[in-house]
A and B are shown apart, each in its own frame.
Chain A
Amino acid sequence: MQRERRQTTQIKNADTMSIATAKQPTALADPEIKLDGLLAEFVSASDVVAAAKAIRQAGYRKLEVYSPHPIHGIDEVLKAKRPPLPYAAIVGAVVGLTSGIWMAWWMNAIDYPLIISGKPMFSFLPSLPVAFELAILLAAFAVFGGTIAMGGLPRPANRLFRIPAFARATNDRFFIAVEASDDVFDAEQTEALLRREGSVRVDTIPIVDVRESRLPRPFVLTAIVLSVLALIPPVLIAKARSTTSTVPRISFISDMDHQPKFKAQTTNPLFADGRSMRPQVAGTIALGDLREDSALYRGIRSDFEEATGSANGSISQQILAAIQSGGEPPAAEVSDAQPKTPNWVTEFPISVDETLIRRGKERYEIFCASCHGIGGDGDGLVTLRALELEQGTWVKPTSLHAEPIQNQPVGQLYNTIANGVRKMPGYASQIPVKDRWAIVSYLRALQKTRTATAEDVPSDVLPNMRELN
């Protein structure tokens, strides 16, 4: 029955067979001629699916279907495995995500910490956008690379391309290629089966000499030349990074590299004194240095205050007041007389409260107590040590409870702290203005401890004090 059918189909397809095999000698005639397989052409997708099913049922395993578009259902027929691309994508995504987060952490918080407007050095949230993008990019690379690699691409030379009919595989026809190395393969029987299942044409797949499918020489030479040329920039960069140069670099944009401006500490022919750095204009005061409040900053009451009784005698106010009152603006004081005693303020220019005094205590114990002692008696540790060493250059600090010091106005005490007196250096550079006043307030409190009487003590504290004595 089968043989009859085969004969019938053979007769039926005689015409097509003769046309199909007109140019190529069929392998059927001479079993000695070697072939690599058979390629059958089909007209429609459903045809090729049915044929593939039948061929598999007949026991063939090494077959492949070619089509101009993906055929649904072919995977089940061929019992093909799903490609593991999703796993590649996941690996790429995880690598991208972790490297994004790692970069944000290591580069911005560890290697070269960047301080950006109060934001934490590393925070998970802002590292997410970069990590997310990298995850997708690397996953896409993995998918793309995996597809190309697993698809056996690039493979420009394929023995199937030598069959002219195969050109329609990317156009409108469908093909099944059965390998000769398949166990069940038999040139005659396989061809007959293919024709039975509806193929309109069967070609032999030629065995191709491996040498013939090598890349043509021009390609290889070009590739070698290009690769060598591509090595040049990295080599140059490496050389530049590891050596020093005695010549200045090439400037493309000269007006950025050589700017027409004068730099510090160079000569300048435009000015008479030849200096690029210009001295300050007379009367220039740096920002924050206009210390107008004489009482606060110097502990001295200005003449303006004397005259008008107002506390803040700024220079501009003095001038303004003088003009308004129709008088003369205050003249610069130039006289040969003895330098008169400065008009020390006797009242604190800032409000004194417990906080200030406590601050003063703290500052006193930092800066002053080392010489003057905790109690102000001039028995600080430095003094004691100096006396022990019997250094003649050491002058014992005055006791702060001595009467002259008790009688000094607060402004004078302030001035002593700021500018020093006799052997004591000035502490203006170490102690800010308000702290100096705090120390003065504390001094007064210290002095009070030696001069206070019972009346000065609050009534609720007094009973306890009597007991101590």
Chain B
Amino acid sequence: MTTPRNIDGQDGYQVSFQKENESLLISLKGEFGLKNLTAFTREIRQAVSGHAIPTLTIDFSQVKYLDSAAALAFVQMEQEAASRKTNCHLANLSEEARGIFSVIHPDVLTRRPFKPEHTGEGVVQQIGQASLSIGRDFVNFITFIGDLLSALAYTVTHPATLRGKDVLFYVQRAGVDGLPIVILIGALMGLIMAFMSYLQFKQFGANIYVPTLVSFAMIKELGPIMTAILVAGRSGSAFAAEIGTMQVNEEVDALETMGFDPVRFLAVPKVLAAVIVVPILTVYADVSGILGGLIIGVTTLDLTFKTYISQSIKTIQVFDVVTSLIKAAVFAGLISAIGCQRGFQVRAGAQDVGKFTTSAVVAAIFLIVLTDSIFAVMLYYVKRYSVFA
């Protein structure tokens, strides 16, 4: 029986079978490779399976092209035949085909990998791993904060070692470049807040308290938090990615071997720049929030420009403004510190950079919210028992 195939095409081949007494002769013709591997192996398997054949000969004399994957398939057929006690023989191999068969080492095909395939852990193990990694993470972060503070202390006592140019560069990156988005988001927030509170307040005819609410909320909470979240997304991630890529390129190691403290060299300028810039951005966010509210106040609430402003100013206390700026500076420190720390945690590879950049932003936002709640409680008692009361 023969199975004719078009052999004019690129991957054309033909397999014919000849049965004589106890033996089967398989003649191959054409090209055998990855492209038609599935097809010709199926064809040969079908012909061979089912009946016991004592001798099997595969004739390669008319093979025009053979690649290593096809050769591998024939080696496997040979092995399968041996397991069925069939005497299999690959006949008329050309010089080239012999070469190709020579690179296939049968023992390699069955050798066990040196390392087992990575499989997922059980739930208990995962919970354990996660808890451990949270603990390790905390220790790492605290250690890094220690390093950072000592580097900052060194910089304060040796101001000449500060890389002023770097600080200015990051001031521009994190501050100036981020200003438009901070102003835009601030204004929109003020606008939305004014409009939403107006919808509620008008039921009581308490429109006059809209400016109070907007300025109070913007200055005490929303301004600093919103700015901090924007900076975390824009700059915290950038710091992590930058230091992470340097870590991958062994630039951090280079710094260390040249005698520079990487934390002082890379983290201090970024942290200083952030601490300088975020309070300023917060002021912009506050002002634009109040102005956003003003738009609603003047157009919808029938308040005059003057009333709105004077109501706002009446609400704003120096204590609130100062603490809000301090809060912003603390947020800035946390965002930049976690960004740098995550960057230093990168070990190798593009995936690590992505992982730690994401983690920098998530951790920064978490810390912002956590510190904000601490501030809220703390400031309440400070105000109650202090001269500001």
Tell whether A pairs with B. no
